Amino acid sequence: MCPTLSCTLESYAVKTRAVTSDCYGSRMTGTALMSAVIARANRSWCLFLDRDGVVNARIMGGYVRSWSDFEFVPGALDALRTLARWAPRIVVVTNQQGVGKGLMTENDLSHIHDRMLRAVAESGGRIDAVTSCIHLAEDRCDCRKPRTGMARAYLDVNPEIDGSLSVMVGDTDSDVEMGRRLRVVTGGCAVFRISAIDDPLADGTYLSLAAFAAAIAPLLPSE
Ligand SMILES: [Mg+2]
Ligand SMILES: [Zn+2]
């Protein structure tokens, strides 16, 4: 058993009983999660995190165009504080086609991200970098998810990070597909989906980032 793990599988089951209604035990999500935590303990790796629908509320059929449109998902800030204890790097990878469509400027987007980073830091969390694809779907760029360009660009300039230990968390098919493609490129990537519907293509599905972090928390060394 890894020395940094604070509990055994049995005690993990007890500690997480309160959150099992938020995850899908039939697919042994807890066990997959525990393996993911064990494999990454004391290693240098990166958690890639989708933004809309995971960190902040998604605007259906529209875009977050200014800070006043940006609303953290309930529990997301607390979740980021927990995840900061787990992941040596946390990098947001977000498709923001609204820039390519001219609905907002790159400046608007970086202003939103500055405010987001400040709010996360003020609540004791950490996001190390934000990478955005501002291109249109028809541009066929290398970075728009499900393509892996954003994650690869980060890994390219941070060679100390072991890409094969990557973790991808997102709420759409394209996030899960990005994680699966990254797995092929780097040799490994654990993929978790934020959804009310179990995704068999992911290693685990959780109702929210808060539910995901609540499942991780008992596996971390105590603060
Ligand atoms: Mg999303
Ligand atoms: Zn792009």
Residue 144 CA to ligand 2 center (angstroms) comes to 4
| pLDDT tier for residue 12 given thresholds of 50, 70 and 90 | low
Percent of the chain with pLDDT over 70: 87
Q: pTM of the full predicted structure?
A: 0.88
Beta-carbon contacts of 31 under 8 Å, excluding residues fewer than 6 positions away, are 9
For residue 17, how far is its CA from the centre of ligand 2 (angstroms)?
41
- The ligand placed nearest to the CA atom of residue 59 is 1
Which ligand is the nearest neighbour of the Cα of 144? Answer: 2
Q: Which bound ligand lies closest to the C-alpha atom of 137?
A: 2
Q: Cα(172) to centroid of ligand 1, in Å?
A: 6
What's the average model confidence in pLDDT over 56-76? Answer: 95
C-alpha–C-alpha distance, residues 212 and 37, integer Å: 12
Q: What's the pLDDT at 3? A: 40
Identify which of 64, 53, 119, 127 has the alpha carbon closest to the alpha carbon of residue 97.
64
- Is 128 considered catalytic here? no
Q: What spacing in Å lies between the alpha carbon of 171 and ligand 1's midpoint? A: 5
At residue 11, the pLDDT reads 52
* Res 40: pLDDT: 97
Query: What pLDDT, on a 0 to 100 scale, did the predictor assign at position 20?
Result: 44
pLDDT range class, residue 61, cuts 50, 70, 90: confident
pLDDT tens figures, 77-107: 999 999 999 999 999 999 999 999 999 999 9
- pLDDT tens digits, one per residue of 131-158: 999 999 999 999 999 999 999 999 999 9
User: Residue with structure tokens 């994650």?
Assistant: 151
Domain-wise residue ranges, the chain: 10-218
Model confidence at 37, in pLDDT bands (50, 70, 90)? Answer: very high
Q: Is 114 annotated as catalytic?
A: no
Mean pLDDT of 14-39: 63
pLDDT at residue 19 is higher than 80: no
pLDDT of residue 174: 98
Q: Quote the ligand 1 centre to 194 CA distance (angstroms).
A: 9
Distance from the alpha carbon of residue 93 to the mean position of ligand 2, in angstroms: 11
Burial class of residue 132, CB neighbours in 10 A (0-12, 13-18, 19+): buried
Query: Which top CATH class is 10-218?
Result: alpha beta
Q: How far apart are CA 202 and CA 2, in angstroms?
A: 24
Kindly list the protein residues that place their beta carbon closer than 5 angstroms to ligand 2, a single-atom ion.
Answer: 133, 135, 141, 143-144
Residue 178: nearest ligand to its CA? 1
From 50, 78, 108, 171, the catalytic residue: 50
Which residues fall within 8 angstroms of residue 45, CB to CB, at 6 or more apart? Answer: 87, 88, 89, 161, 162, 165, 166, 167
Residue 7 has pLDDT above 80, yes or no: no
Which tokens sit at 56? Answer: 């902040």
The predicted model gives 160-177 an average pLDDT of 98
Q: Mean pLDDT, to the nearest integer, of 165-185?
A: 98
**Ramachandran category for residue 57: left, alpha or beta (phi over 0 → left; psi -120 to 50 → alpha):** beta
E strand or H helix that includes residue 92: strand 89-95
pLDDT digits (tens, 9 = 90+) for 202-221: 999 999 999 999 999 999 98
pLDDT at 107: 97
Tell me the pLDDT band of 181, cut-offs 50, 70 and 90.
very high
User: Of the residues 22, 52, 108, 171, which is catalytic?
Assistant: 52
pLDDT of 2 reads 42
Q: How far is the CA of 159 from the centre of ligand 2 (A)?
A: 22
Of 24-28, 150-154, 185-189, which gets the smallest average pLDDT?
24-28
